[in-house]
Chains A and B, each alone.
Chain A
Amino acid sequence: MQAAGLEEPQVAWEPLLPGLIILLPLLGFAINGALALSAARKSADAVRAGGEFDFLENGRPASHSLPTWVGPGVMLLAFLLTLVNFVGMLGAELHEPVIRSYWTWIATGDLNVAAAIQLDQLSMIMMMIITGVGFLIHVFSVGYMQDDPGYPRYFAYLNLFVFFMLVLVMGASYPIMFIGWEGVGLCSYLLIGFWFSDEEKASAGKKAFIVNRIGDLGFLLAIFLLYLVFQQVDYVGVFGDAEAVFVYGGPVITTVTLFFLLAATGKSAQIPLYIWLPDAMAGPTPVSALIHAATMVTAGVYLIARSSVLFALAPLTSALVAGIGVLTALFAATIALKQQDIKKVLAYSTVSQLGYMFLGVGVGAYTAGVFHLMTHAFFKALLFLGAGAVIHSMHHALHHTHKDWDAQDMRNMGGLKAYMPITWATMWLATLAIAGIWPFAGFFSKDEIIWMTGAMAGAENAPYQGLYTVYWILALAAAMMTAFYMARLMVMTFHGENRTGSREVEHLHEAPKTMWIPLAILAALSVFGGWVNVTTDLRESVLGGFGFLPMSEWLHGWLEPVTEAAHQIQETHLGELAHAAPLGGGEVAWGLISTVAALSVVLVTARLLGSRKVAVAVEDTEPTGLSRILFNKWYVDEFYHRWVVDPILTTSRVLWRVVDAKIIDGTVNLLGNVARAAGWVGSLLQTGQTNTYAFFFTVGVLVILAMIGLQG
């Protein structure tokens, strides 16, 4: 790859200012960051003078009113610009990615990396999600964070996150993606620990960062390996040569993809590195919606979908990706069954849904994986924002009467439907979507993933056929659990008797406009978002309204240029996929079965839990038996603490106290003492007596003369 004179492919379509899309959030970061610094300085001056700086007094200063316009403003501009480019690309029949190279970033030896961005169908979809959903969440944040002293700092971080996320998806090579990968990790850390004066929240940020570093190591090693093999690291070069260079299922390609998988499990919170995501809920709720549900955590899925050619060449890794995905989906769903914190339920639900995406990209259904990524961004962002609205309202109510109850514990809620009808309605739509009930968005994406898993199990030459059958069954089981825990969340939060307290109830209120309008938009997307990608079979059947509804197979065709190479490899080596599920039955039949099953689970759960009396958090008894294990998250954190963290700490302490303090310091001190003693002995010769010096001088001369004499 030649950095400066990179060949621009000849296409009819010219992107409009693609670099500006990246730069706009960066500009927002610069402005908000400067405002945050000035606010911090003012506050520090006030504290030094003995008082306390309250920005709410005497009207809001510019540093606390400007971010309201700058933060969401740059996002709106970036979204509009992306939209213009998206529409342009829609009409352009693009088969090759469009690459814009700005400058040479690394030029050393064989390695040439340009600071280049790549626009193709996949990055375009991701950009639409990031800027679109991102804009809505920025707007929501205005209402949610308005009274926080760190308001400008919050928007600075949020804008910076969007910048890095865009770098991640728009980069034209793995190192550029890695910049974004690290950058979003940094912003995630900063935002999880946003309320850093609370030590628990600060350490949740650290945990996220450290666990992610393990995955990042895999990413780096994968890049190094690719460089060793190809001498280049840009997508076009690597994917173009991959088939010629790698043996199908060979050891090198398997190693590369395994390293990428490690990176993806870290960023996308999959087994074994999922543990950071539930703790990441310590951050402000809109952050959980944007970073830990809609965008950043899907970076691992994006990485695998982007590298679809490499993963298609490594059947072993692909089976592992699918296995990790389905296990995580099931495992996280079991934990979500028994959580009491509304955000914790959603966090484990996110882990579980990310597992589905992994299952999708693992069975080679890259489009289905990206499809679920997209619909999940809609309904999970909505669920988190709705939960944010609930927490906001609960917090205000509890704050009003100075009751020190947990504003996030669902046992303290109940009956909120009467006070927040819009939040209630929108969240129910999202719940139906995530539960996979027709015709909501989640039904089409989740069903396609499960269907493709079944089809893979019956493929002509597929390796590990039995394994894929197991995956298929587990995926169905996890889908049923999803329906249960989401129905439980809704019932405990919005239905039944209110348990907040009679004085507090009066202060519960519906979310303000800036908060419920994004909810409404996301609700519409959660309902109709799935219609962009309905397979032909489904469309012709009752599930597609017999072809009358405006449903299409659009996303498949749209992503075809990106995924066709991978699909060809699969076709060559796996043969034709099955047209029936492992237990028999076609796509429509199983779609009907799963939607009916999910709907019955939701209805039964709502009925059973709706009539049950729930004790508030302070009066509740400790769970017992299996519930206790699930409530304590299978004790995985304790397990990691016992077998990973503690051994590392012990080893470090031994290295510090014994190896460093005793052995290394001891050696250095010994050498120093020897030198000092030798110096002391030598100094005895220095008598200060001129005669002595003269004597040694003479002896020296004689010795030299003797040597000359002996030589001559």
Chain B
Amino acid sequence: MLAESLVLAGVIFVLGTLGVIVRRNVIIMFLCIELQLNAVNLTFVAFSRFVGIEGQLFVFFVMTVAAAEAAVGLALIISIFRHYETVNVNHFNLLKW
């Protein structure tokens, strides 16, 4: 049971990571980050069966923080969109030499 859960979580995490690296749409990248967080959540839950209730406690924390992060992140995206009128991350390239 644990092995299947971990494999599933791993697959989701890798998909999320690849999404962040490959996709250009900021909102999709944002969703991929959520995917990574939830893959981690899944691992916590899977382990909590064997280790203890603390794993599930952590999941709640992660979900709360993720909610806050989503709020801030979306606010940022909207603000950037108002400026550039695009959500293509290729256009946000000021952070360089």
Binding site for B on A (CB under 8 A): 683, 686-691, 694-695, 698
Contact with B93, one of A683, A687, A694, A698 (Cβ below 8 angstroms):
A687
A695 contact set on B, CB distance < 8 A: 21
Check if A689 sits within 8 Å of B93, measured CB to CB: yes
A698 contact set on B, CB distance < 8 A: 17, 21
Which of A683, A687, A689 is most buried by chain B, counting CB atoms within 10 A of its CB? A689
Contact with B95, one of A683, A688, A694 (Cβ below 8 angstroms):
A688
How far apart are the CA atoms of A695 and B29 in the complex, in Å? 13
Contact with B21, one of A686, A687, A688, A694 (Cβ below 8 angstroms):
A694
Check if A691 sits within 8 Å of B20, measured CB to CB: yes
Within 8 A of A (CB), among B58-93: 89-90, 92-93
A691 contact set on B, CB distance < 8 A: 20-24, 89
Asked if B50 CB lies within 8 Å of chain A CBs, one says no
Q: How far is the CB of B91 from chain A (nearest CB, A)?
A: 10
Q: How far is the CB of A395 from chain B (nearest CB, A)?
A: 74
25 sampled A-B residue pairs with Cβ under 8 A:
A683-B96, A683-B97, A686-B95, A686-B96, A686-B97, A688-B92, A688-B93, A688-B95, A688-B96, A689-B89, A689-B90, A689-B93, A690-B29, A690-B89, A690-B92, A691-B20, A691-B21, A691-B23, A691-B24, A691-B89, A694-B20, A694-B21, A695-B21, A698-B17, A698-B21
How far apart are the CA atoms of A381 and B1 in the complex, in Å? 116
Binding site for A on B (CB under 8 A): 17, 20-24, 29, 89-90, 92-97
B23 contact set on A, CB distance < 8 A: 691
A-B pairs with beta carbons under 8 A, tally: 30
Which residue of chain B has the shortest Cβ distance to A690 in the bound complex? B89
B92 contact set on A, CB distance < 8 A: 688, 690
How far apart are the CA atoms of A691 and B25 in the complex, in Å? 11
How far apart are the CA atoms of A19 and B97 in the complex, in Å? 71
- Which DSSP category, helix, strand, loop or mixed, fits chain A's interface? helix
Which residue of chain B has the shortest Cβ distance to A695 in the bound complex? B21
The 8 closest A-B pairs by CB, nearest first: A688-B96, A688-B93, A683-B97, A686-B96, A695-B21, A694-B20, A690-B89, A688-B95
Check if B94 sits within 8 Å of A688, measured CB to CB: yes
How far apart are the CA atoms of A686 and B95 in the complex, in Å? 8
B90 contact set on A, CB distance < 8 A: 689
How far apart are the CA atoms of A695 and B21 in the complex, in Å? 6
Which residue of chain B has the shortest Cβ distance to A696 in the bound complex? B21
A687 contact set on B, CB distance < 8 A: 93, 96
A688 contact set on B, CB distance < 8 A: 92-96
B95 contact set on A, CB distance < 8 A: 686, 688, 690
B93 contact set on A, CB distance < 8 A: 687-689
B21 contact set on A, CB distance < 8 A: 691, 694-695, 698
Q: How far is the CB of A678 from chain B (nearest CB, A)?
A: 14
Which residue of chain B has the shortest Cβ distance to A689 in the bound complex? B93
B17 contact set on A, CB distance < 8 A: 698
Which of B21, B89, B90 is most buried by chain A, counting CB atoms within 10 A of its CB? B21
Q: How far is the CB of A239 from chain B (nearest CB, A)?
A: 74
How far apart are the CA atoms of A690 and B23 in the complex, in Å? 10
Q: How far is the CB of A661 from chain B (nearest CB, A)?
A: 33
B29 contact set on A, CB distance < 8 A: 690
How far apart are the CA atoms of A245 and B26 in the complex, in Å? 90
B97 contact set on A, CB distance < 8 A: 683, 686
Which of A686, A687, A694 is most buried by chain B, counting CB atoms within 10 A of its CB? A694
How far apart are the CA atoms of A297 and B13 in the complex, in Å? 93
Which of B23, B90, B93, B96 is most buried by chain A, counting CB atoms within 10 A of its CB? B96
Q: How far is the CB of A78 from chain B (nearest CB, A)?
A: 74
Which residue of chain A has the shortest Cβ distance to B14 in the bound complex? A698
How far apart are the CA atoms of A340 and B97 in the complex, in Å? 77
Q: How far is the CB of A691 from chain B (nearest CB, A)?
A: 5
A683 contact set on B, CB distance < 8 A: 96-97
